[in-house]
Amino acid sequence: MLTVSQLPVYFAAADLTFLICPGIANSCESVYIRSFVQNAQNCGFRCYVLNHLGVVASVKLTSARLFSYGGTAEFAAMVDCALRQHPSSRAIALGFSMGGNVITCWLGESKEHQKKVLCAISVCQGYDIIRSRPVLLQWAGLRRAYMFSMARNMKRILARNRDILFSPEVLTRHPEIDIKAVFGATTLLEIDEYYTRVLKGYSSVDEMYVAESSAHKLREIHIPIMFVNALDDPIVPEELLDCVKDYASTHDNAIAVITQHGGHLGFFEGDSYLIPKPVSWLCRLVIQYTESVLTNEPQRSDKLANGHAAPMHRGDGAAPMHRGDCAAPMHRGDGDGPAVRSAKLLFTSPAAGRNFSDTPENPLD
pLDDT digits 0-9 by tens, 16-39: 999 999 999 999 999 999 999 999
233 catalytically annotated:
yes
Respond yes or no: is residue 97 known to be catalytic.
yes
The reported pTM is 0.80
Position 314 pLDDT exceeds 70: no
CB-based burial, 172-197: b 16+ in 10 Å, e otherwise: eeeeebeeeebeebebbbbbbbbbbb
Q: Which of 27, 30, 68, 97 is catalytic?
A: 97
Question: What percent of the chain clears pLDDT 70, i.e. is strictly above it?
Answer: 77
Q: Which tens digits make up the pLDDT trace of 265-280?
A: 889 887 766 778 878 8
Per annotation, catalytic residue among 113, 233, 313, 331: 233
Per-residue pLDDT reduced to its tens digit, 92-110: 999 999 999 999 999 999 9
Give which of 308, 310, 288, 314 is closest to 300, Cα–Cα: 310
Q: Which of 264, 280, 313, 331 is catalytic?
A: 264
Distance, CA of 199 to CA of 242 (rounded, Å) = 31
